[in-house]
């Protein structure tokens, strides 16, 4: 019996363990009907008979055994019901431990407290669900029809659903914590992404109000590039909503945002790899409590009045776990 099944104590799950192989969509739909209380991603992990599944189960076990005192109580049961968001927390335990020391916190406090020298940082994780309104969800091509390369559209329209869910996740988590310590919001929008998302576009629009690249002709031989400067954008048929959060002093209590649109399953060791740029860290230039050290494994986006920079990670992530 696997570690996960032992921790859950649900004997019924033993009947589906390692029961389907790639392409077993019909069988998996039957499993989902049988176990509606569990997240389909968790059920797939239990039922799928591939080495990637075994590697991820091994990672979850090693991570839990090392960090269970940091994670919430009854964490494995929560993981089984909200898989992606809780796996994102497990991965953050691993990668944040490479930048400092995670210290115990109360259940009512932020998800993590990271100690770096004398500095203590609050970190709150969120993995927003898709919008309840189906019209506001990202386009998800039918891969069985092999038509996903035919998808077209303006980047504003294609990225709007991801942008909206990133903003909702930020709004949910940006208040309710101590104001005497730095606060970082760690957002994973993978559950809302249909096709591959442009993380830098979403982040610069959401946090700084910078939209599409602009090109200005200076003379016959030279040009200057920049960005659209926006304060609000609109959903079709609805009032405009605010963007450019890190230009607004009302959010100066948030020191930065950690962001990815990739599934935590791909970020973990032996996962699918860090496609795109993996994870991005964006410091708030207006932060009341600026963070004066680097996260070496994160791509970094820096923006001020006179500068916009996208800085690659300075080191390759190495897990703190012995796998």
DSSP secondary structure letters along 212-228: EEEEEE-SSS-EEEEEE
| pLDDT at residue number 306 | 82
| Residue 36 pLDDT exceeds 70 | yes
The answer to whether residue 27 is domain-embedded is yes
Whether residue 153 is found in the same domain as residue 15 = no
Whether residue 10 is found in the same domain as residue 132 = no
Measured distance CA(14)–CA(307) in Å, rounded: 56
| Residue 27 pLDDT exceeds 50 | yes
| Residue 157 pLDDT exceeds 50 | yes
| Residue 143 pLDDT exceeds 70 | no
Whether residue 148 is found in the same domain as residue 254 = yes
**Report for 96-105, 123-132, 253-262: range of highest mean pLDDT:** 253-262
Measured distance CA(71)–CA(94) in Å, rounded: 12
The answer to whether residue 92 is domain-embedded is no
Could you tell me the pLDDT band of residue 273, with boundaries at 50, 70 and 90? low
Structure-model confidence comparison of residues 272 and 175, the more confident one: 175
Structure-model confidence comparison of residues 186 and 144, the more confident one: 186
Measured distance CA(147)–CA(141) in Å, rounded: 7
| pLDDT at residue number 142 | 54
| Residue 145 pLDDT exceeds 60 | no
| pLDDT at residue number 208 | 95
Whether residue 273 is found in the same domain as residue 226 = yes
| pLDDT at residue number 299 | 92
| pLDDT at residue number 60 | 95
- Of 65, 81, 97, the residue that ends a domain is 81
The answer to whether residue 231 is domain-embedded is yes
Q: Are 59 and 29 in contact (CB under 8 A)?
A: no
The answer to whether residue 47 is domain-embedded is yes
Structure-model confidence comparison of residues 158 and 142, the more confident one: 158
Whether residue 270 is found in the same domain as residue 190 = yes
Whether residue 190 is found in the same domain as residue 130 = yes
Mean pLDDT of all residues in 178-188: 94
Structure-model confidence comparison of residues 91 and 73, the more confident one: 91
**Report for 11-25, 133-147, 298-312: range of highest mean pLDDT:** 298-312
Q: How many CB atoms lie within 10 A of CB 78?
A: 16
* CA angle (265, 4, 89) in 5-degree steps: 40
Per-residue pLDDT tens for 126-140?
Answer: 998 776 676 665 666
| pLDDT at residue number 156 | 66
Q: How many CA atoms lie within 13 A of 211 on its CB side?
A: 15
Whether residue 77 is found in the same domain as residue 165 = no
Q: Are strands 256-260 and 280-283 parallel, antiparallel or unpaired?
A: antiparallel
The answer to whether residue 202 is domain-embedded is yes
The answer to whether residue 144 is domain-embedded is yes
| Residue 96 pLDDT exceeds 90 | yes
Whether residue 231 is found in the same domain as residue 306 = yes
Q: Find the helix packing angle between 199-208 and 155-173, rounded to 10°.
A: 60
Range with the lowest mean pLDDT among 65-69, 112-116, 194-198, 209-213?
A: 194-198
Closest by Cα among 201, 256, 253 to 227: 201
Q: What is the share, in percent, of the chain residues with pLDDT greater than 70?
A: 87
The answer to whether residue 93 is domain-embedded is no
Q: Which domain holds residue 124?
A: 105-311
Structure-model confidence comparison of residues 134 and 258, the more confident one: 258
Whether residue 112 is found in the same domain as residue 54 = no
Mean pLDDT of all residues in 56-76: 92
Measured distance CA(201)–CA(211) in Å, rounded: 7
Q: Is 190 helix (H, G, I), strand (E, B) or coil?
A: helix
| Residue 152 pLDDT exceeds 80 | no
Range with the lowest mean pLDDT among 214-228, 239-253, 298-312?
A: 214-228
Q: Domain count of the chain?
A: 2
What rounded mean pLDDT belongs to the chain? 85
Whether residue 296 is found in the same domain as residue 227 = yes
Closest by Cα among 112, 116, 252, 253 to 181: 253
Whether residue 54 is found in the same domain as residue 122 = no
Q: Which two tokens stand for residue 46?
A: 């239990």
| Residue 61 pLDDT exceeds 50 | yes
Whether residue 236 is found in the same domain as residue 168 = yes
- Of 14, 49, 81, the residue that ends a domain is 81
| pLDDT at residue number 144 | 53
Mean pLDDT of all residues in 66-90: 93
The answer to whether residue 276 is domain-embedded is yes
Could you tell me the pLDDT band of residue 148, with boundaries at 50, 70 and 90? very low
- Of 23, 49, 81, the residue that ends a domain is 81
């Amino acid at each position: 019996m696997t570690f996960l099944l032992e921790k859950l104590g649900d004997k019924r799950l033993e009947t589906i363990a390692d029961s389907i192989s790639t392409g077993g969509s019909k069988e998996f739909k039957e499993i989902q009907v049988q176990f509606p209380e569990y997240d389909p991603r968790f059920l797939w992990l239990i039922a799928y008979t591939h080495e990637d599944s075994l590697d991820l189960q091994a990672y979850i076990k090693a991570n839990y055994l090392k960090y269970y005192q940091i994670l919430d109580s009854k964490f494995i049961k929560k993981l089984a019901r909200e898989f992606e968001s809780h796996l994102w927390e497990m991965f953050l335990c691993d990668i944040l431990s490479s930048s400092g020391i995670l210290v115990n916190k109360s259940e009512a406090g932020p998800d993590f407290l990271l100690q770096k020298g004398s500095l203590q940082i609050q970190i709150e994780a969120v993995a927003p669900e898709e919008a309840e309104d189906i019209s506001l969800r990202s386009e998800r091509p039918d891969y069985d029809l092999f038509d996903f390369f035919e998808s077209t559209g303006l980047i504003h329209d294609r990225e709007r659903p991801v942008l909206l869910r990133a903003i909702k996740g930020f709004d949910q988590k940006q208040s309710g914590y101590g104001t005497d310590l730095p606060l970082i919001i760690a957002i994973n929008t993978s559950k809302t992404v249909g096709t591959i998302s442009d993380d830098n576009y979403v982040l610069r629009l959401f946090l700084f109000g910078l939209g599409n690249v602009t090109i200005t002709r200076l003379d016959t031989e030279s040009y200057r590039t920049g960005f659209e400067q926006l304060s609000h954008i609109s959903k079709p048929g609805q009032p405009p909503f605010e963007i450019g959060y890190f230009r607004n002093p009302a959010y100066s209590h948030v020191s930065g945002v950690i962001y990815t649109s990739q599934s935590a399953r791909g970020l973990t060791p032996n996962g699918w790899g860090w496609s795109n740029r993996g994870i991005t860290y964006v410091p708030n230039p207006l932060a009341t409590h600026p963070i004066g050290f680097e996260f070496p494994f994160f791509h970094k986006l820096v923006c001020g009045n006179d500068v916009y920079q996208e800085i690659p990670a300075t080191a390759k992530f190495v897990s703190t776990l012995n796998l």
